Chain A
């Protein structure tokens, strides 16, 4: 049996040899991709664990605040460290959104911006959120996250009242 190999790499449509080469190439590429993915997972599983921290809300933990456009809203969070060693806490506010569809990327200033919490210590954290003058009155909801900690953050609701 004779197999003719044309110079044209694409070959005519339906050429069984070019189709075979294409399938073989795709198979090799997929195999390489899956192998790398497997090795990455293997490497991750065999690495030493780094014990982390979980944020657990104490009761109804939604942070509420009220402000007028052009003013500022103040959020206060108490943090209790129930772990056996110090915890570094860095708060950050995510995007806020209202039922009307308006979204707000807030400028928030935390005081202090980060803090070290000793075991069994309870600390207070204040966040001042500047409300833009052009923001329509509504209730804006979102999350305050403690950066790098596992399992979410603290729900936030800021009610922006009419200026008058």
Chain B
């Protein structure tokens, strides 16, 4: 038996529209000028770790986590993570909602009213407020690794879906003389 769900905006926010997504992207770019590189990277890493904790609760995520945990990569990763105090550093940053940000940026690429909305800039971004100030558990190496995997898979799938309708065949046939091969590797 099938079921049906609706995807709706969060009632506590102004919702997903081209204007709010552009404002969010602009706000993130603007924030880069007032924070350090370490804070930006730390927040991203903390975001991957938060995603990894969530994905580890699914069957596929748990499988990946267990596979990493039982191999050398897992133990070496944990040792390096602890010795270089990466866990302490990552845990001292607010996690970026990396998946939301990626999906929102992707939605902008498909929006039909980007030109009109760009004319409205600058649009002030909404601040994360209390939602962004929540306490999160300490980031472990496996949280980060599983989150990074899940994010990477999402990126590949998103671009497959994005290019699917316009992707040409894997070969191309043309006419004329082939171009002379060049480049430093063929010298």
Contact = CB atoms under 8 A, between A and B. Distances in A.
Interface of A: 36-37, 39-65, 75-90, 92-95, 105-108, 112-118, 124, 145-150, 154
Interface stretch (B55-63, B79-87, B166-174, B176-184): B55-63
Contacts of A81: 6-7
A157 B51 CA distance: 26
B10 interface: yes
A122 to B, nearest CB: 8
A41 B130 CA distance: 8
Contacts of A88: 103, 106-107, 154, 158, 161
Given A44-B128, A90-B154, A50 B2 contact: no
Contact of B125 (A49, A52, A57, A59): A49
A116 B51 contact: no
Contact of A147 (B1, B18, B20, B99): B99
B186 interface: no
A92 B5 contact: no
Nearest to B55: A147
A86 B107 contact: yes
Interface SS of chain B: helix, strand, loop or mixed? helix
B6 A63 contact: no
B134 interface: yes
Contact of A94 (B8, B59, B154): B59
Contact of B157 (A36, A60, A92, A114): A114
Interface in B15-60: 15-18, 20-21, 23-24, 27-28, 30-31, 35, 39, 43, 51, 54-55, 57-60
Interface of B: 1-11, 13-18, 20-21, 23-24, 27-28, 30-31, 35, 39, 43, 51, 54-55, 57-63, 92-97, 99-101, 103-104, 106-108, 110-111, 125-135, 150, 154, 157-158, 161-162
B163 to A, nearest CB: 11
B16 A83 contact: yes
B3 A51 contact: no
B5 A116 contact: no
A50 B104 contact: yes
B4 to A, nearest CB: 4
Contact of A113 (B7, B133, B134, B157): B157
A130 to B, nearest CB: 11
A55 B15 CA distance: 13
